[in-house]
Amino acid sequence: MNTGALLDRYFIKQPRLRRLVTALMEPDRNLQVDLAGAPLQVNSRREHGYLRASRLLRRNGTLRDEIPVLMNLFALLRDGDTFVDVGANVGLFTHAVARLTQLHPLLELVAIEAHPDTFARLAARPLERVRYLNLAMGTAAGTLTFVDGAVSHVFTTVDQQNAYSIPGETRQVPSQRLDALAFRPGSDLVLKVDVEGQERQVLQGASELFDAGRIRVVYLDGYDDQGLAGWLQDRGFSLRDGRTLEPTDQPPFSLLAIRS
């Protein structure tokens, strides 16, 4: 019998023992917690599982920051849209959103990742409705010089290198404008951008798509260029916090822009 089965039999299904152990671990109190973007009041004993989960979320940036955003993007996507994941890494957003093709048969997805090794992992479990592109997005077709780091999500262009970069570990990556890619005629684009400082170049390389009104939603996952909020507002987008959906005039780390 595995550990999970033993825990279930001798602890989870032993309510008196479970209550005693929980009482030894936690004082009896009501607490305000945040779980997947939902504000909750829980009792430290009666909802101990939720309390543990909230503590885990606080310690884990991926769970804390990205799961609420994914839930919000799910709500914004419509049948016939194209979800474009620029800086897809290994595909958390792409492959989670791809589940919606079961409900939205006309939904298409494009996953774009610059690092060739990371791209190989992204495409290792391909899905039929996803187009995978090993490219960098920028303002022109050509090549860009990237610098690596200890982990894949800090891969960035040399002009954006920082304390997380490893100087000298560079490589050339083919680049293209986003508006030079072929998208299904008439489809609205929902654009997620996570590119470690190259956000403006990605958006400028999509200028024809913006001018044509093709881009309905833009999500920026962290960015340094505070002028991008005004850039998007000038093009008819309203700004919201990507995690909470609250309207904002102060650009948050997690920025969701929706075309008015």
Is 249's pLDDT higher than 90? no
Mean pLDDT (whole number) for 130-138: 97
Q: What is the pTM of this model?
A: 0.87
pLDDT for the residue numbered 230: 94
Is 3's pLDDT higher than 90? no
> CA 175, 181, 185 angle in degrees (round to 5)?
170
Is 14's pLDDT higher than 90? no
Q: Give dist(CA 178, CA 86) in Å, integer.
A: 9
pLDDT for the residue numbered 8: 65
Do 189 and 163 contact (CB within 8 A), yes or no?
no
Can you name the residues that pair with 257 across neighbouring β-strands? 218, 239
pLDDT for the residue numbered 36: 79
Do 102 and 130 contact (CB within 8 A), yes or no?
no
Listed range (35-39, 122-126, 228-232) with the worst mean pLDDT: 35-39
Mean pLDDT (whole number) for 210-216: 97
pLDDT for the residue numbered 152: 77
Q: Give dist(CA 184, CA 166) in Å, integer.
A: 39
Helix (H, G, I), strand (E, B) or coil at 257: strand
Is 143's pLDDT higher than 80? yes
pLDDT for the residue numbered 12: 65
Is 66's pLDDT higher than 80? yes
Can you name the residues that pair with 254 across neighbouring β-strands? 221
Mean pLDDT (whole number) for 180-184: 96
**Average pLDDT of the chain to the nearest whole number:** 91
Is 73's pLDDT higher than 70? yes
Is 13's pLDDT higher than 70? yes
Is 255's pLDDT higher than 90? yes
pLDDT for the residue numbered 238: 96
